[in-house]
């Protein structure tokens, strides 16, 4: 379960401070959890709180970077958001895997008699077209913190991508679990799928970040996971939540163990050529 890949930090050694990578990751985790407690203590309601939570990972990441290395370290963090020259297959993976996940859930729901193709298509509405627009910026901000800082810092500390995926995924999960409180986003949904969905998502997002060195690509995948949710509107939300947990866990297992996907390689697939190399 150790899929190593070298993701180089663009900040040269001269920019670094006495803060170790392990220290930075610890402070980041503590800051995320403290800010989370503050946000829920504010009791802003289920419609506002998720949008505030989105800001926590990037705020914590930028703050730690500034405290540990000043402006240059913040610039190094932000530079990972603008890595776009990667192989075209990673764009396809970032967008295709989340869509495939939802289509598998739809297919399972139809085969099990929980819905029909007509009902699945009929559940779409004009608001479904707005979802991708709304989720892109929040996803990019989150990934700047989770993968651009959290995973990268774990790699700088000498940890494997697998370790980084699970530890950052644990913090990611802890940030989302209070959304089960009454009146919040997950209220009324089964609890057991959440850790599987969130940890599996972390594995997939870490995988694509490690392979590309790009927060942009990880952000696109994160956005696609959210933007493709309308594909399942024709099914019961509680059933979809459970089916997604099973489907995403399967994808995460493939990422951990499939050599055909080159997850055990030692070099990232980031390309220096223009946009979409072969």
For residues 168 and 261, what is the distance between their CA atoms, to the nearest angstrom? 22
Domain ranges of the chain: 13-261
Q: Distance (Å, rounded) from C-alpha 270 to C-alpha 7?
A: 9
Say what the pLDDT of residue 188 is: 93
pLDDT beyond 50 at 273? no
- How far is Cα 178 from Cα 185, in angstroms, rounded to an integer? 9
9: tokens are: 């930090």
Are the C-beta atoms of residues 56 and 127 closer than 8 Å to each other?
A: no
Distance CA 50, CA 18 (A): 35
For 17-76, the pLDDT digits (tens) are 579 999 999 999 999 999 999 999 988 877 889 889 999 999 999 999 999 999 999 999
Q: What is the pLDDT of residue 2?
A: 47
For residue 124, what pLDDT is reported? 84
Confidence (pLDDT) at 131: 87
- Does the pLDDT at position 5 exceed 70? no
- In the 8-state DSSP scheme, what is residue 6? B
Report pLDDT for 43: 83
Q: How far apart are CA 253 and CA 251, in angstroms?
A: 5
Residue 1 has pLDDT above 70, yes or no: no
Res 45: pLDDT: 79
Averaged pLDDT for residues 96-103: 97
Nearest alpha-carbon partner for 161 in 54, 268, 15? 268
Helix (H, G, I), strand (E, B) or coil at 76: helix
pLDDT per residue as tens digits for the range 107-157: 999 999 999 999 998 888 877 888 888 899 999 999 999 999 999 999 999
pTM for this prediction: 0.87
- The answer to whether the CB of 234 falls within 8 A of the CB of 122 is yes
Which residue, chain included where needed, has tokens 């220096």?
Answer: 272
Question: What is the tens place of the pLDDT at every residue in 247-265?
Answer: 999 999 998 776 544 444 4
Among residues 210, 242, 244, 251, the alpha carbon closest in space to that of 226 is found at 244
Q: Is the pLDDT of residue 209 over 60?
A: yes
C-alpha pair distances (Å), 174 with each of 33, 59, 185: 8, 17, 15
176-188 pLDDT tens trace: 999 999 999 899 9
CB 235 within 8 A of CB 130: no
């Amino acid at each position: 379960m150790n899929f190593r890949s070298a993701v180089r930090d663009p900040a040269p050694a001269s920019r670094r401070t006495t803060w170790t990578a392990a220290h930075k990751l610890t402070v980041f985790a503590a800051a995320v959890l403290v800010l989370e407690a503050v946000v829920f203590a504010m009791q802003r309601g289920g419609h506002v709180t998720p949008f505030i939570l989105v800001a926590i990972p990037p705020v914590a990441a930028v703050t730690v970077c500034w405290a540990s290395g000043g402006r240059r370290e913040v610039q190094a963090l932000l530079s990972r958001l603008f890595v776009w020259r990667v192989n075209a297959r990673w764009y396809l993976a970032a967008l295709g895997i989340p869509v495939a996940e939802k289509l598998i859930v739809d297919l399972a729901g139809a085969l099990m008699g929980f819905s029909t193709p007509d009902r699945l298509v009929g559940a779409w509405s004009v608001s479904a077209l707005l979802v991708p627009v709304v989720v892109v910026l929040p996803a990019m901000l989150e990934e700047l913190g989770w993968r651009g800082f959290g995973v990268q810092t774990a790699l700088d500390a000498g940890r494997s991508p697998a370790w980084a995926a699970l530890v950052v995924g644990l913090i990611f999960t802890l940030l989302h679990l209070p959304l089960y409180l009454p009146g919040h986003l997950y209220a009324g949904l089964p609890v057991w799928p959440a850790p599987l969905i969130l940890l599996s998502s972390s594995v997939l997002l870490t995988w694509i970040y490690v392979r590309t060195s790009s927060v942009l690509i990880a952000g696109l995948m994160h956005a696609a996971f959210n933007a493709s949710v309308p594909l399942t509107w024709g099914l019961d939300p509680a059933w979809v939540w459970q089916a997604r947990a099973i489907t995403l866990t399967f994808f995460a297992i493939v990422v951990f163990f499939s050599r055909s996907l080159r997850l055990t390689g030692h070099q990232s697939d980031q390309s220096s050529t223009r946009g979409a190399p072969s």
